[in-house]
Each structure stands twice: as structure tokens, then as C-alpha cells.
Amino acid sequence: MSKTQNNIVIREATAEDLPVIFSFIKEIAEYEKLPHQVAANEEVLNESLFGKRRYAEVLIAENNGEPAGHAVYFHNFSTFIGRPGIYLEDLYVRPQFRSKGIGKALLISLIKIAKERNCGRLEWAVLDWNEPAISFYKKMGAVPMDDWTVFRLTEDKIKGFDI
């Protein structure tokens, strides 16, 4: 657990945080105009985040003891540098807590974790219309990877392969 200025606490999530994590997920989906894509529920999240095999980790940000935001991340790997990296899946701060340094505190906590784990990269994607996030990330020194295109196979496509 790390405490920053302005009564912001960043801590690792536990299974008791599942209702808050799920609430954050639904809120970010609403913000991104994608609520129809949320198929997760607390049971699925519990298995994926706190089950036998943890597929992702979560940091919770609290402001004066109130849940303010979270960062969901997992390890990836770069064959070019031969080391792990961290992929930031979600960085979310509730509207009433924005512009208080919470997003920055979450990102700095992730940078510390990346350093401790000898990661060569910290990467994430941002919707191209999300100018506040893009501006924030650039201020933090992040560089857009304009020469790369993200591809995705969804669950229905994966299940559709006859293998």
C-alpha cells in the first residue's frame, strides 16, 4: 500500500473489492460508450483475478477512504527485448475524483511495479476520441504507437474455428 499526497491511497485489490471493481468496469464501459460489451460478472472476475491462476491484477485508488479508481493490468512479453512487460487494460478514475492526481498516482504505482519486476515496457490502448486521456498520457511521457494497428478475435470468432 502506498499513500500519496491529498489522502490518496493506492493498494492491491482483494476479493472483497469485487463489487467495487465490477462497478468501475461498468462505469468505464459507460464512459467509453460500450456498456453493451460488458459480459463479465463478479463470479467470472473472482475466478480470473483471485482464482487458482490469476490472469490480471488490480490496484485500487482510494481518496479519503472512498473508492476513487482502479488500474487493471497483466503481464505480456516482448521477444525483441526478451523481458516481460505490463499491459494496462483499464485506468479509471470516477468523475468526481478527477483532476486530484489519482490517475497519476495509479500510473506511477504501475511504473514502480514495472521497475520492481524488471519489465521492459508498460503499454496500453486508448480510444482515439478520448482527448483528456491522450493529453494526460502524453504529459506523463507516453508516446503513441501510430505505426501499429490493434487486431482482435472475439469469443464468437474463436469458437467459430473448426479445430
For the chain, the average pLDDT equals 94
Confidence (pTM): 0.92
The fraction of the chain above a pLDDT of 90, given in percent, is 91
**The pLDDT value given to residue 100:** 95
pLDDT digit string, tens, across residues 21-77: 999 999 999 999 999 999 999 999 999 999 999 999 999 999 999 999 999 999 999
pLDDT of 6 higher than 90: no
List residues with catalytic annotation: 137
Q: Taking residues 142-150, report their average pLDDT.
A: 92
Domains, the chain: 2-160 (3.40.630.30)
- State the helix-helix crossing angle for 42-50 and 18-31, rounded to 10 degrees: 110
pLDDT digit string, tens, across residues 84-104: 999 999 999 999 999 999 999
pLDDT of 14 higher than 80: yes
